[in-house]
Amino acid sequence: MTMSRRTMLRLSALGAAALAAPLAAPRLARAADPVKVGALFPLSGGAAPQGQHVSQAIEIAAALVNEQGGVLGRPVQILRRDDESTPAVGVSRANELIGEGVAVIIEGWNSPVTLATQTVIARAGVLDITAISKADQILTGGGNPLAIRLNSSNAQDGRIIAEHLKATGAKRLAFLTQNDAYGNGAQAAIEGELKAIGHAYDKVAEERFPFAQADFRVALTNVRGSNADAIVAINANEGSGLPALIRQARQMRLRGELVTAVGTVAPSVIAVAGEAANGIVGADIYFPNVEPFASNPANRTFVRRAEETIRYTPDKFMALGAAALQVWAMAANELKSLEREAIAKRIRGGAFQGTVLGDITFGADGQLASSHHLFTVKDGRIEVRA
């Protein structure tokens, strides 16, 4: 079939116009186009329940933000991805999210995964907010020069544990430490703070274990033999590892107070550990129904919405995830921009009012400032000490 040159030219012009149209049309014409936000957490494996909860919290926060008009007039859409608590997988999923054109990635449960992904995300020029991972290198390592971290640092956590140990007069200390960046960093922080506040102690046992371990009897045998006054357990495997450790410690009749690292004991841990959890000591930076959080309207809305939609009272991790989203949305709406550097500079060293955590400030290095509270587990519930 032949066609005249004219028809050919007309068709070509139409074709070219059709192809160019989306590129030429101004962004404003598509205001209903959602802003994509990546949520990268473990959705399977030992930390799956917690990772799921955090992702849900971010979604709840996003829903609340959308009810107030969204970000830059556009709805926020959360894209969940599973990092399987494995650095290589996390990097791969992060690349997927970057490919989807997310404006920001809220990530981080396991520190090794965060350390791996932050470099990749930074190099792609996407904003990266670390919600839960704790290792110090996240801020100091240089992988992400514009790092933002919500969860308390190992140094901050170490202080309150050290103060508690000094208050109870525990001299013989045993450490059960997760063998990775987080665990080793946490233990170093605690020991550093003990020295800083001038409390003399004997490290009578030190057992390291891999994150996925669920049978601690061998290590606990050593700890028992050391006859410690206090046993410091640094185990972020809230799904199965930490509850197993608690149960087995009780079963083996371990003497001495069981002190858990800050932020590791969530209600889900107590549920699996059962009666064995009674009597353990911990500390945290957020409790849904305790002052000053109980009377914070933003928190109350958040807690209520969570109990309605997922029938679960939020824990600290969920609050951090929600706060991460809130802070980002506030900054973006204030600056009227999604640009990474601008928002990061606004958050780092900045202050925000009315988040689920209350009025908060960030240090110049990107670390959220938080206040710690000690608690004991009684009758299967967390009881915050005055």
Decide whether 243 or 358 has the Cβ nearer to other proteins: 243
Give the pair of three-digit tokens for residue 345: 């500079």
Least CB distance to other proteins at residue 44 (A): 6
Least CB distance to other proteins at residue 48 (A): 4
251 binds other proteins (CB under 8 A): yes
The answer to whether residues 156 and 372 touch, using CB atoms and an 8 Å cutoff, is: yes
The binder of other proteins chosen from 188, 272, 310, 335 (CB under 8 A) = 272
Decide whether 102 or 132 has the Cβ nearer to other proteins: 132
49 binds other proteins (CB under 8 A): yes
How far is residue 361 CA from its own chain's centroid? Answer: 17
Query: Is the peptide bond between 314 and the residue preceding it cis, with omega within 30 degrees of 0?
Result: no
Distances (CA, A) of 128 to 13, 37, 84, 90, 178: 43, 10, 19, 13, 25
Decide whether 221 or 289 has the Cβ nearer to other proteins: 221
- Residue whose token pair is 């009780």: 250
380 binds other proteins (CB under 8 A): no
210 binds other proteins (CB under 8 A): yes
Least CB distance to other proteins at residue 21 (A): 43
The binder of other proteins chosen from 31, 218, 294, 369 (CB under 8 A) = 218
The binder of other proteins chosen from 15, 69, 73, 274 (CB under 8 A) = 274
45 binds other proteins (CB under 8 A): yes
108 binds other proteins (CB under 8 A): no
Give the whole-angstrom CA distance, residue 180 versus residue 185.
8
Least CB distance to other proteins at residue 136 (A): 20
Decide whether 66 or 313 has the Cβ nearer to other proteins: 313
209 binds other proteins (CB under 8 A): yes
253 binds other proteins (CB under 8 A): yes
Least CB distance to other proteins at residue 274 (A): 7
The binder of other proteins chosen from 66, 137, 222, 313 (CB under 8 A) = 222
69 binds other proteins (CB under 8 A): no
Number of residues that bind other proteins (CB under 8 A): 33
The answer to whether residues 244 and 215 touch, using CB atoms and an 8 Å cutoff, is: yes
Binding residues among 179-198 for other proteins as defined by CB under 8 A:
179
Decide whether 216 or 328 has the Cβ nearer to other proteins: 216
Which window, 25-33, 43-51, 108-116, 186-194, contacts other proteins (CB under 8 A)?
43-51
Give the whole-angstrom CA distance, residue 362 versus residue 328.
13
User: Would you tell me which residues interact with other proteins (CB under 8 A)?
Assistant: 43-46, 48-49, 52, 179, 207-210, 212-219, 221-222, 225, 239-240, 243-244, 247, 251-253, 272, 274
